[in-house]
Amino acid sequence: MAYALKCLTEEQKNKFDNEGFLIVKGLYDPQQLQEIKDTFEEIGRTGVPGYYEPDMTAGADEPLKRFPRVMHPHRFNDTAKRYMLHGPALAVLEDLYGEPPLAAQSMFYYKPPGAKGQALHQDNFYLKVEPGNCIAAWTAVDEADEENGGMLVVPKTQDYEIVCPEHADAKESFTTHFVKPPKDQKAVPVVMEPGDVLFFNGNLIHGSYRNKTKDRFRRAFICHYANASATRIGQYYRPLYHADGTEVELALNADGGPCGVEFETLYPH
């Protein structure tokens, strides 16, 4: 029996299937965005021992030491978990998958002025969702454009095989991996307004610009999901969650790893 779309149009679903990505406008309202902003402003101001420990002494010349990305905030913050399970986003994901989604990861990027971008990469290189694929839901908390470090996607690479990354340019990327686009295919900018959500396939090649502004953050709340019929995922993403917040364990896919590995010179251990 064919899956009947619940919230997306056939045009939107075809866009995702044919291009590998889809922007859904205004999926978060201003009040919800303000709650996200307030939550992560507090996390960024104080840190969270054992989970998020930025270098509070870092100056403006080290923006990503002072404001590194927050990994898995749903594991220590109820607001982050609630918005990882945001009903409208889960409804879109169910239409894209044709089955319920499972929430696997949350992240928050502050992307302060001067921050490096992230070199082109493929998410399922890290999550290793099998069978099926991961889908990212990338929510713009601020305006995101070419100047303040907005997103880049390489359309129609959703069917491109997961490849072993090359070494990224440390001058432009804060992570070490780089996936070169196929011949004659180029990365294009994705301009977004606050509350817009970019959904994209786990094989889609994507990345982001450096934040070239002097006074604009490019904050984003980003979550990754797996299809309910998946049986394996990387260790870093377990446990996963049903829409009601209950945990679900998938078998371990030993090849997985964190979403991008930072250069050691930026984040010494």
Token pair of 54, please? Answer: 């930025």
- The answer as to whether 42 is a domain residue is yes
- The answer as to whether 2 is a domain residue is no
- The answer as to whether 219 is a domain residue is yes
CATH number at residue 119: 2.60.120.620
Judge contact between 92 and 207, C-beta under 8 A: no
pLDDT at 266 over 50: no
Q: How far is CA 143 from CA 52, 185, 188, in A?
A: 25, 26, 17
CA torsion 17-21-24-27 (nearest 10°) is 110
For the stretch 11-20, pLDDT in tens is 999 999 999 9
Residue 235 exposure: Cα atoms within 13 Å on the Cβ side: 3
Alpha-carbon gap, residue 238 to 104, rounded angstroms:
7
pLDDT at 259: 58
* pTM for this model (two decimals): 0.94
- The answer as to whether 260 is a domain residue is no
The number of residues making up the chain comes to 269
Residue by residue, DSSP assigns 117-178 as BEEEE-THHHH--BSS-EEEEEEESS-B-TTBT-EEE-TT-TTSPP---EE--TTTBSBSEE
- The answer as to whether 51 is a domain residue is no
For the stretch 214-264, pLDDT in tens is 999 999 999 999 999 999 999 999 999 999 999 999 999 987 666 556 655
For the stretch 102-115, pLDDT in tens is 999 999 999 999 99
pLDDT at 269: 24
For the stretch 150-190, pLDDT in tens is 999 999 999 999 998 999 999 999 999 999 999 999 999 99
For the stretch 41-76, pLDDT in tens is 999 999 999 999 999 999 888 999 999 999 999 999
pLDDT at 33 over 60: yes
By C-alpha distance, which of 133, 217, 148, 142 is closest to 189?
Answer: 148
Domain range holding 72?
A: 10-46+60-252
- Number of compact structural domains in the chain: 1
Compute the average pLDDT of residues 118-147.
97
pLDDT at 59: 86
Question: Which amino acid would we find at residue 170?
Answer: A
- The answer as to whether 30 is a domain residue is yes
- The answer as to whether 192 is a domain residue is yes
Alpha-carbon gap, residue 250 to 246, rounded angstroms:
13
- The answer as to whether 263 is a domain residue is no
pLDDT at 265: 38
